[in-house]
Chain A
Amino acid sequence: MKPSGIEMSEVSVRFDTPDGAVHAVESVTEHVPDGSFVSVVGPSGCGKSTLLAVISGLQRPSSGAVAIGGKTVTGPDPSIGVVFQEDSTLPWRTVEDNVRFAMQCNGVGKGEQRSRAREAIELVGLAGFENAYPTTLSGGMRQRVALARTLAVEPEVVLMDEPFAALDQQTRIFLGAEVRRIWERTGQTVVFVTHDLSEAILLSQQVWVMSYRPGRILEVVGVDLPAQRDPAIVSSHEFNELHNRIWSVLQAESMRGFQQQEAARA
């Protein structure tokens, strides 16, 4: 069988800091099936963003390897799209030119850039804002621009690092539903990092719970909810059960992380 999806084998990342080595990610061996939607949750300060950076090729693992579609990741690649937590729109470019930026760097032809940019802008619901500058848009709209820029390259894998963390609750729920809708259409493999449990359950097929340092995957929870989900599902019995199950693991971890940070400060 042809290898597919994202294959992580014994991935570890250690940082040397003045206070000693930090094991951000420790021996993670997991598989993200092709075309699936996986969320990673964990206490703040755990290595979830670092793990995502390793998959994206932006961060080299201290040991171990990641393969996408059977090909080992050695650095950033057009087949891997990343959406960052921070506002990454370029304020001197219009929405359309922002969306074209990644394609420009990848040497996509001008005409192709234009049509794919228009398509991606349409997909994220920003049609009509092609010529607007990011400074005139809300934070949520800017994250849509960043998403469109990533999607326009047509990557196999889309990695999102807490993309809605800086947004208000309503916008977050709304954009989450948009991401889910887009994923249903494009069928890309998505890894979504978040600290919001409800968001993770609502969006994904699998939720990975990560531990505080050293960052390990403690539990992989399958989300057995119908494919067609609307935000009202959060009040269902099944959702609550999942939420409680993940929260019980996460709570203990968050407590441990909190105590470690306090101890380090003392």
Chain B
Amino acid sequence: MTVHAPNRGGMPKRLLDNQFVGGLALFIVVILAWQLCSSLTFVIPAPVRTLEVLGANLTDASYIFDLRVTAQSVFQAFLIGTLLGGLIGLGLGLSERARLWFEPLLVILNGIPKIVLYPVLLPLFGLIGAKVAMGVLFALFPVLINVATGVREMPRVYWKLASAVQANPWQKLIYVILPAIRRPLLAGLRLAVSLSVVGVVLSEFFATRRGLGRVVLQSYNHGDYPVMVATVVLLIAVAFVISILLWRWEKRLR
């Protein structure tokens, strides 16, 4: 930004209006609160201790393997969920009839707690496939809903323009629809990233051989709270960083 507010309050006022400074201040407050909580209960390790455990974990080959298993499942879930959600959303956005028929079904499906389907998915997709499928179910809806709404709310003149210049269906998609829905699409992707992590890790809590969800549950069973909290913090941190990056990209769009 090149525009500066009149510098009436001097330097401190300018600093307080800076988002980065605000975010940093909030971060410090959270760390302090964490420190305080850790002195109240033995379940929560101190921030520094957590960081040490996290560092140790990340040099442990077995832990890295768990991390990779989870990351792979999340990535697959995100990819499939986004593609599937995007395609269905596109169909619902383009066809009024499809919307009419499928909207009630989708509202119901989106409304049910998806994790209750896990016992059904397990025998269907196996141990590895089921958690990806669960991640897909979680990631699917925000993309689907945002794409469908975005396509439906596209200015009508874009359609007229595309027809008048004889854009073929592919050109309509690449040159008009995708850029026109860029904002809701990216917002949907941002949600899909976090939700595919939720879907996969949640599944790993229930039944799986490897993965960070299993690490969390195992360390809980062993009362190894530092490892448990360090893993949870790692999951939060990764989802947080990806969300921030996507959010910044979203803000830079025209």
Interface, chain A (partner B; CB < 8 A): 56, 58, 75-78, 80-82, 84, 86-88, 90-93, 101-102, 104-106, 133, 135, 153
Do the beta carbons of A88 and B161 come within 8 Å of each other? Answer: yes
> Given A82, A90, A92, which contacts B164 in the complex, CB threshold below 8 Å?
A82
How far apart sit A86 and B180, CA to CA, in the bound complex (Å)?
16
Q: Please, which residues of chain B bring their CB within 8 A of the CB of A86?
A: 155-157
Least CB separation from A149: chain B residue: B165
> Given A75, A80, A84, A90, which contacts B176 in the complex, CB threshold below 8 Å?
A90
Q: Please, which residues of chain B bring their CB within 8 A of the CB of A90?
A: 158, 175-176, 179-180
Do the beta carbons of A58 and B163 come within 8 Å of each other? Answer: yes
B171 at the interface (CB under 8 A from A): yes
Q: Please, which residues of chain B bring their CB within 8 A of the CB of A153?
A: 165
Known: A133-B254, A135-B254. A88 touches B158 (CB 8 A): yes
A-B contact list, 23 entries, CB within 8 Å: A56-B164, A58-B164, A76-B165, A76-B166, A80-B164, A81-B164, A84-B160, A84-B161, A86-B155, A86-B156, A86-B157, A90-B158, A90-B180, A91-B254, A92-B179, A101-B165, A102-B165, A104-B171, A104-B175, A105-B168, A106-B165, A106-B166, A135-B254
Q: How large is the interface on B (under 10, 10 to 19, 20 to 34, 35 or more residues)?
A: 20 to 34
Least CB separation from A153: chain B residue: B165
Q: Please, which residues of chain A bring their CB within 8 A of the CB of B165?
A: 76, 101-102, 105-106, 153
A-B pairs with CB below 8 Å: how many? 56
> Given B157, B171, B182, which contacts A87 in the complex, CB threshold below 8 Å?
B157
How far apart sit A87 and B157, CA to CA, in the bound complex (Å)?
8
How far apart sit A256 and B115, CA to CA, in the bound complex (Å)?
64
Q: Please, which residues of chain A bring their CB within 8 A of the CB of B161?
A: 84, 88
Q: Please, which residues of chain B bring their CB within 8 A of the CB of A106?
A: 165-166
How far apart sit A133 and B179, CA to CA, in the bound complex (Å)?
14
Smallest Cβ distance from B155 to chain A, in angstroms? 7
B167 at the interface (CB under 8 A from A): yes
Q: Please, which residues of chain A bring their CB within 8 A of the CB of B254?
A: 91-92, 133, 135
Least CB separation from B253: chain A residue: A92
How far apart sit A133 and B156, CA to CA, in the bound complex (Å)?
20
Do the beta carbons of B182 and A105 come within 8 Å of each other? Answer: no
Q: Please, which residues of chain A bring their CB within 8 A of the CB of B179?
A: 90, 92-93
Do the beta carbons of B175 and A101 come within 8 Å of each other? Answer: yes
Smallest Cβ distance from B151 to chain A, in angstroms? 15
Interface centre among B161, B167, B168 (most CB of A within 10 A): B161
Q: Please, which residues of chain A bring their CB within 8 A of the CB of B163?
A: 58, 76
Known: A76-B165, A101-B165. A84 touches B157 (CB 8 A): yes
Q: Please, which residues of chain B bring their CB within 8 A of the CB of A56?
A: 164
How far apart sit A56 and B167, CA to CA, in the bound complex (Å)?
15
Q: Please, which residues of chain B bring their CB within 8 A of the CB of A58?
A: 160, 163-164
Segment 130-171 of B: residues with Cβ below 8 Å from A: 155-158, 160-168, 171
How far apart sit A117 and B176, CA to CA, in the bound complex (Å)?
19
> Given A84, A87, A88, A105, which contacts B166 in the complex, CB threshold below 8 Å?
A105
How far apart sit A42 and B168, CA to CA, in the bound complex (Å)?
34
Smallest Cβ distance from B141 to chain A, in angstroms? 26
7 tightest A-B contacts by CB? A102-B165, A86-B157, A105-B167, A92-B179, A105-B165, A82-B164, A88-B157
How far apart sit A105 and B176, CA to CA, in the bound complex (Å)?
11
Q: Please, which residues of chain A bring their CB within 8 A of the CB of B167?
A: 105
Smallest Cβ distance from A81 to chain B, in angstroms? 8
How far apart sit A86 and B254, CA to CA, in the bound complex (Å)?
19
Interface centre among A75, A80, A88, A104 (most CB of B within 10 A): A88
Least CB separation from A80: chain B residue: B164
Least CB separation from B159: chain A residue: A58
Q: Please, which residues of chain B bring their CB within 8 A of the CB of A133?
A: 254
How far apart sit A91 and B164, CA to CA, in the bound complex (Å)?
18
How far apart sit A90 and B254, CA to CA, in the bound complex (Å)?
10
Least CB separation from B156: chain A residue: A86
How far apart sit A86 and B175, CA to CA, in the bound complex (Å)?
19
Q: Please, which residues of chain A bring their CB within 8 A of the CB of B180?
A: 90, 92
How far apart sit A133 and B175, CA to CA, in the bound complex (Å)?
16
Do the beta carbons of B175 and A105 come within 8 Å of each other? Answer: yes
Smallest Cβ distance from A27 to chain B, in angstroms? 26
Interface centre among B157, B158, B165, B167 (most CB of A within 10 A): B165
Least CB separation from A87: chain B residue: B157
How far apart sit A153 and B161, CA to CA, in the bound complex (Å)?
14
Known: A86-B155, A105-B175. A78 touches B166 (CB 8 A): yes
Extra inter-chain contacts (13) besides given A88-B161, A101-B165, CB under 8 Å: A56-B164, A58-B163, A80-B164, A82-B164, A88-B157, A88-B158, A88-B160, A90-B175, A93-B179, A102-B164, A102-B165, A105-B165, A105-B168
How far apart sit A87 and B168, CA to CA, in the bound complex (Å)?
22
